[in-house]
Amino acid sequence: MALSPVSKIIVAAAATTLLVGCGLVDAVRGRSSSGGSAQPAASTQPAASAQPGQSPPPAVLGVAGPEAFGGVAPADTGYFADFSAVWAGSFLDPEPAAKAAEAFRKSGLTAFTVKKTLVEKKILSRPVGDYHLVLVGLFGELADAQALGRRLQAQGRIANWQAVPSDNPGELAQAAAQTAPLTARSEKTVAAAQERAGRPTPADSPAVTGEGFKKLVRGRYVGSWRDIVEARAEAERLTASGWPASVVSDSPAGGGWHRVYLAEPGDRREYRASPQELESARASAASRDGLVLLADLSGLKGVWGRTAPDATRSDASACAGYSRAGRAQTGLERLVGYVPDAGQLIVVKPVNYAPPSGVVDKVARPVRAWWSGDDSELTVAQAVYGPTLFNRSEVMARLRAFKVDADPAPLGPAFDGLGELAAISGRKTVALFSEFGRPESADEAVAALGRLKGQHGANLNLVVVYGDADDRGWRLAEDLAKAAGTSPAWDGCRLLADNLYFEKFVKAVFRR
């Protein structure tokens, strides 16, 4: 269909999106109150319309309030919608719009297309034509859509965007239909992660060959010597192998028996480690590696243990099929399923909101209290687990007992509080899962990481995973990854949707 000169001017004012490489560059003329700006781009393609035999286009939706892309907006129907999405691009034809949405879905994001009639809103409103809009995310909170839009723009995936309301039920039905395969795959990912991580630790693993291995063999009675020199020599040999030992004498004067314990001085428990346990401990101590799961529970929305968002989508992740808490939990559980069974020390440490009273890490606890089994002053959700030899079922039980904290907490004190790393003699990997929505500057967090690196040197490996971060949070994640010098920051949503990407992540964690 040939366009008149007036029609060409109108079409040129409308949003046209170009697909460049793996990202999207939106060439919308002008700017919006919440988006960026771009250079004008013209199109001479005819406006798309419903073909014979196809369903009619969905009911159009009014933007009712926000400035439009270059003065162009969906036609107003006179009501507000309950959900918001990121308007990431517009196409005259459905095929390129579908390809653009699929590019977002490949990284795990909720993305779908809708057909709308755009109108030019200046002094008078006039229709521009029918366009196929690409919408990303589906949130119950406008602020969440705006945060996603800012991050996608900061990452260079879009050059312009607008947070817009989404019609119910028309567009919600389309969103569900177009993202159904990805949501089904998300459900399978959750089930597979839980099944793999829930498998019992092999019977011959050091973690289950004796009670001593469940707590680093500390507190175990080793043996008794009449000669204090021999007792001390045995204690020194064990300590040199990485298993701190002490001597407890019956008499300060040196008479009686001198007992060696794998525990700190003063521990007089009388249960004995078997020779097999001790021999295995000596053999593996010198080279044992450790993994710290630093699970930032602050700033998360949703209920821990429930994967999908609620009906209001107030806790929805941009990741299709997940709430924010569900996405974080699944990411942790999926990684647990790939932790090597033999010789790996594990620490599971949550990070919660730090009140302004100066208590910077309310989950910190003396390791000695954990060794003695003293949980009297701590809830299960707050307790640090480990360091101990890896036992998959125990780690999963601790992860599932976590509780989220809606208030964001700073990361600097969390890095400063990683005293558990001192118990790991080999490579020390810290896998940080976070929303990066904290009230601190990047300099403060990077400085705390620098102090941690100064303590542990080249043995420290920090792996950073960001969730539903905004542009500022994503940049903080990138800054920390760059300061760590190990690997770039990892997209927590893509880790659940892209198996090849996840495989590279596992290799980065365990340096395989």
> Where in the chain are the domains?
5-171, 191-201+286-510, 206-285
Whole-angstrom distance, CA of residue 34 vs CA of residue 148? 11
Give the mean pLDDT of 436-465. 90
Closest listed residue to residue 76, CA positions, set 36, 31, 116, 46:
116
Q: Which CATH number fits domain 191-201+286-510: 1.25.40.10, 3.40.50.410, 1.20.1290.10, 3.40.50.720?
A: 3.40.50.410
Whole-angstrom distance, CA of residue 197 vs CA of residue 206? 18
**pLDDT score at 14:** 35
pLDDT higher than threshold 50 for residue 68: no
pLDDT higher than threshold 90 for residue 433: yes
In angstroms, what CA-CA distances link 329 with 98, 324, 390, 409, 498? 31, 9, 19, 18, 17
SS3 108: coil
Q: With the CA atoms of 330, 332, 337 and 341 taken in that order, what torsion angle do they form, in degrees rounded to the nearest 10?
A: -170
DSSP string, 47-69: PP-PPTTSPPPPPP----SSPPB
The pLDDT-based confidence of 262 (bands split at 50, 70, 90) is confident
Return the structure tokens found at 71: 């003065």
Instruction: Name every residue whose Cβ is closer than 8 Å to that of residue 242 and which is 6 or more positions away in sequence.
Output: 285, 286, 288, 425
Q: Between these two residues, 152 and 243, which has the higher pLDDT value?
A: 152
Q: Which stretches does DSSP call E strand in 148-303?
A: 162-166, 220-225, 246-249, 258-262, 289-296
* pTM of model > 0.85: no
**pLDDT score at 5:** 37
Q: Where are the alpha helices (DSSP H) in 155-258?
A: 170-197, 211-214, 228-240
**pLDDT score at 37:** 34
pLDDT higher than threshold 70 for residue 191: yes
CB-based burial label for 470 (10 Å; 0-12, 13-18, 19+): buried
pLDDT higher than threshold 80 for residue 141: yes
Q: Between these two residues, 152 and 168, which has the higher pLDDT value?
A: 152
Amino acid at 6: V
**pLDDT score at 407:** 81
SS3 221: strand
Residue 266 has φ and ψ, to the nearest 5°, of: 105, -15
Are the C-beta atoms of 466 and 477 separated by less than 8 Å? yes
pLDDT higher than threshold 70 for residue 42: no
pLDDT higher than threshold 70 for residue 422: yes
Are the C-beta atoms of 234 and 260 separated by less than 8 Å? yes
pLDDT tens for each residue of 279-311: 666 555 545 788 999 999 888 999 999 999 998
**pLDDT score at 22:** 32
Looking only at the bridges linking them, the beta strands covering 258-262 and 246-249 are antiparallel
In angstroms, what CA-CA distances link 38 with 28, 42, 119, 254? 6, 12, 19, 84
**pLDDT score at 249:** 79
Whole-angstrom distance, CA of residue 489 vs CA of residue 487? 7
Are the C-beta atoms of 462 and 449 separated by less than 8 Å? yes
**Of 17-31, 64-78, 281-295, 419-433, the least confident:** 17-31
Q: For the domain 5-171, what is the CATH superfamily, name and number?
A: Sporulation related repeat (3.30.70.1070)
The winner for highest mean pLDDT among 20-24, 260-264, 302-306, 394-398 is: 302-306
**pLDDT score at 1:** 40
